[in-house]
Amino acid sequence: MTNNAAKASTLRVKDTGSARIDKWLWAARIFKSRSIAVDACKNNRITINGVNVKPSHIIKPGVQIDVRKPPIVYSFKVLMTIEQRVGAKFIPEIYENVTDPKQYELLEMSRISGFVNRARGTGRPTKKDRRKMDEFIEPALFGFGDIDDWDHEDDDE
């Protein structure tokens, strides 16, 4: 049975020897769609050996690819070139994640700091704040107080 499982995994993942970078990024599940992978290449977010690459760039096994997804840069070593998308369980056969651990620390720091630096009062107003604003704005829209109030004072004289 284990031999059949090994055959199934090799049948599902076909090494093509070379592949377009945009197809490989999509097939290796680094990007959700091929068009997003193409846009990343066009926006100089994909580099090989420090050189920006076009979507049609051909890659071979052994190449290290850097993918810039702000705020960090992921690094992958290509183990196998594929052009058809495969299941997540086959990913360890396709590439090795060689991203620097400091990059993941940077990601965690930016995730945490997003909640801490928010100044009080920014963003959507609370229900209490909205009621105070309504009390302030309403007289300006409809006049100050009741119009008849000042007329009654004049009638007394």
What local confidence, expressed as pLDDT, does residue 133 receive?
84
How many other CB atoms are found less than 10 A from the CB of residue 64? 15
Domains of the chain as residue ranges with CATH: 2-100 (3.10.290.10)
Q: Where are the alpha helices (DSSP H) in 62-121?
A: 91-94, 101-116
Residue 157 has pLDDT above 60, yes or no: no
pLDDT digits (tens, 9 = 90+) for 32-91: 999 999 999 999 999 998 899 999 999 999 999 999 998 889 999 999 999 999 999 999
The helix/strand/coil state of 33 is: coil
- In angstroms, the Cα distances linking 69 to 40, 46, 85, 93, 135 are 9, 9, 21, 23, 46
Distance CA 31, CA 14 (A): 20
pLDDT tens per residue across span 113-141: 766 555 666 778 888 988 888 888 777 66
- Can you tell me the distance from the alpha carbon of 47 to that of 54, in angstroms, rounded to the nearest whole number? 9
CB atoms within 10 A of CB 78: 21
pLDDT of 12 reads: 64
What tokens does 60 get? 């071979």
